[in-house]
């Protein structure tokens, strides 16, 4: 039987993390933007992973992805150690402190898309160097919708390439402090207007536990976060949100504003499950029925 075509390609980092939160400390667990984003997207559409791991990468982590039916043709394995990150979260988990970052094989990562991925109608470029994001854009064939993520590092060290890639995407996502840094505007509305002037149709500003804001030239959409009584690990929440959003959007086959708003809801809900446990531990036990049940509860909470 011919495998289903990849509908969504996701490019990003893959890491092995050591994380300490007020809940507990976990060592050598699966992390990285592409891990969280692909896991979230996999509930909605056939997703292709593009990333790099070292020869030390545990086979059990690969099995986790395979069990979620993530396509691994774009996964590179090279000699050396996998990217590693360790950090500690403060008591309220709003801020974290990085203890160590080891780029290892990720330092030489050059994303190369398999032929089957180049035709995918949806593309999410995770938080990697903007020159690498541009390299991916040279390989794809007229995707319907491109979402890119970025961070303060690239804003500070490679603004020219970042502005180029922002001008080639349909949606830019970043957090509120990054939006302010990028534009020099304290007001998020003014920051979004400046970012829209670079070319994207939408700017999605993530506000962590306070939800997100979607800006276009015509309007603003505000989305609350699902209220949780407690959670264990916020690592990867933004990538889970973006991956779920893009997976749901790909499943809809649409790119209009109503479809994007609905996809944001699904992304937010999948992210709310993800933070309940470390790494992908909660997502591997999640199913579509649980997602739909929480989506229904969330919509009822927001009803006026």
Task: Compute φ and ψ for 33, nearest 5 degrees.
Answer: -60, -40
Range of the domain at 157: 8-302
Q: Tens digits of per-residue pLDDT, 135-184? A: 999 999 999 999 999 999 899 999 999 999 999 999 999 999 999 999 99
Instruction: Kindly provide the residue ranges of all beta strands, DSSP E only, lying in 126-224, ordered along the sequence.
Output: 145-149, 171-175, 202-206, 212-215, 220-223
CATH code, 39: 3.40.1190.20
Residues 6+ apart with CB under 8 A from 55: 77, 78, 79, 80, 81
Q: Tens digits of per-residue pLDDT, 257-278? A: 999 999 999 999 999 999 999 9
pLDDT band at 3 (very low <50, low <70, confident <90, very high): low
Distance, CA of 181 to CA of 210 (rounded, Å): 19
Q: What is the mean pLDDT of the chain?
A: 95
Distance, CA of 248 to CA of 253 (rounded, Å): 9
Distance, CA of 18 to CA of 235 (rounded, Å): 11
Of 127, 130, 121, which Cα lies nearest the Cα of 46?
A: 121
- Is residue 83 included in any domain, yes or no? yes
pLDDT mean over 19-30: 94
Residues 6+ apart with CB under 8 A from 199: 166, 167, 168, 169
Distance, CA of 38 to CA of 8 (rounded, Å): 9
- Is residue 3 included in any domain, yes or no? no
- Is residue 52 included in any domain, yes or no? yes
How many domains does the structure of the chain reveal? 1
């Amino acid at each position: 039987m011919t495998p289903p075509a990849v509908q969504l390609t996701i490019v990003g980092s893959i890491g092995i993390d050591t994380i300490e939160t007020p809940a507990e400390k976990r060592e050598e667990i699966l992390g990285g933007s592409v891990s969280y984003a692909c896991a979230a997207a996999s509930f909605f559409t056939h997703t292709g992973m593009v990333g790099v791991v070292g020869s030390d990468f545990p086979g059990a982590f690969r099995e986790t992805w395979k069990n979620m039916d993530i396509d691994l043709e774009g996964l590179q394995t090279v000699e050396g150690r996998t990217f590693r990150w360790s950090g500690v979260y403060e008591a309220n988990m709003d801020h974290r402190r990085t203890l160590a970052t080891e780029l290892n094989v990720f330092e030489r990562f050059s994303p190369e898309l398999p032929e089957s991925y180049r035709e995918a109608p949806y593309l999410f470029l995770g938080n990697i160097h903007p020159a690498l994001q541009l390299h991916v854009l040279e390989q794809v064939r007229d995707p319907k919708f491109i979402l890119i993520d970025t961070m303060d590092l690239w804003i500070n060290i490679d603004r020219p390439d970042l502005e180029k890639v922002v001008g080639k995407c349909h949606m830019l996502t970043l957090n509120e402090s990054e939006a302010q840094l990028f534009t020099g505007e304290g007001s998020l509305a003014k920051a979004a207007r400046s970012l829209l002037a670079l070319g994207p149709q939408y700017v999605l500003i993530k506000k962590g536990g306070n939800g997100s804001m979607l800006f276009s030239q015509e309007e603003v959409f505000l989305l609350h976060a699902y209220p949780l009584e407690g959670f264990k690990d916020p690592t990867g929440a933004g990538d889970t949100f973006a991956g779920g959003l893009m997976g749901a959007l790909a499943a809809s086959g649409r790119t209009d504003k109503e479809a994007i708003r609905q996809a944001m809801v699904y992304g937010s809900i999948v992210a709310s499950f993800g933070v309940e446990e470390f790494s992908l531990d909660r997502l591997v036990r999640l199913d579509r029925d649980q997602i739909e049940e929480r989506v229904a509860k969330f919509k009822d909470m927001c009803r006026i």
